[in-house]
Amino acid sequence: MNANQFPPSNDAQNVTDYPNNNTFFLVWTLKQNAPVADLKKGFQRLCALVINLNNSSLDRFPNAKASCVLGIGHDAWKLLELPEPLPKELHNFEAIAGDKHTAVATGGDFHLHIRADEKSLAYDMATVLSDHLTSMADCIVEVQGFRYWDSRSILGFVDGTENPHGDDRNYFAIIDEQDPAYRGGSYVFVQKYIHDLKAWKALPLEEQEKVFGRSKAQDVEMPDEVKPSNSHSALANVGDDKKVVRDNMPFGSVSSNEMGTYFICYSSNFSTVKTMLTHMFIGNPTGNYDRLLDFSVAKTGALFFAPPLSMLSDFSG
């Protein structure tokens, strides 16, 4: 099917929304040895809360572009006895190790992606969900992202230039014929990167641009004959027919100088994401890894599945 012929899915969570000004990313793991019956009841309530908060935010603040997307990990899917067979490519993410850098695997049972132009609304949504989850799960990652100028990372370059637009976002992010039982769903892959800003700032502008393969000021891609083969744009993009919808956000603490990027992408299949990560961390060819990794270290890595809305509704009871 041609991307331009792919119809919007009315059954998908808000996986194709564009990045906005304020974001909460939360990864939770279910408490060990908790009664499964209690976890199932708590999960049912979680799904109901996500649906309620999305509907309420749309009614109360229609211009706030607020939403919450729930992703579920492989082990939680099995423990909670959700439908089988599982989504075809839902499994525990396994680390991808190159000679120098590794895409680590840290896991997680639930991922919450909360967005709103109004920070207060994003905070309230995150608080309601966290208050509920605390009794059944532990939060292992909490990142508060923010929009930096014209969608740039803290490194100063525009992030997400290769994102698809229009109906192409639905085509690349939402499952259709690939897995009919989960039509309207989406794979969610996340990583938390920490930047070495001292080393990065010591790099001359010309070298920074070679790392990205783009100009810093105008975000213009270098011609193929000039762009280094180990630049980020050369390795992170694996073909016009293999794209994902990214919603990355910068985050960090100025006082500690620990600044980074939370990478998140939605895809109709995980194989595209795995190819991208393999090119970046192992190299294409092997050894020709993404030079950006010399300045940005992956601290987390996990794969989730965002069920379609109809399934989320079923889960809510």
Residues 6+ apart with CB under 8 A from 148: 154, 250
* Residue 35, token pair as written in the block: 């009664």
Closest CA to 284 of 233, 239, 229: 229
Within 10 angstroms of residue 55's Cβ, the number of other Cβ atoms is 10
Place of tokens 């010399």: 294
159 tagged catalytic: yes
Q: What angle do CA 223, 229, 232 make, to 5 degrees?
A: 85
The amino acid occupying position 140 is: I
Residues 6+ apart with CB under 8 A from 153: 159, 195, 248, 250, 261
Within 10 angstroms of residue 156's Cβ, the number of other Cβ atoms is 15
The amino acid occupying position 70 is: L
Do residues 159 and 153 make contact, with C-beta atoms less than 8 angstroms apart? yes
Q: Which residue out of 99, 117, 159, 294 is catalytically annotated? A: 159
Place of tokens 């889960």: 315
Residues designated as active site: 159
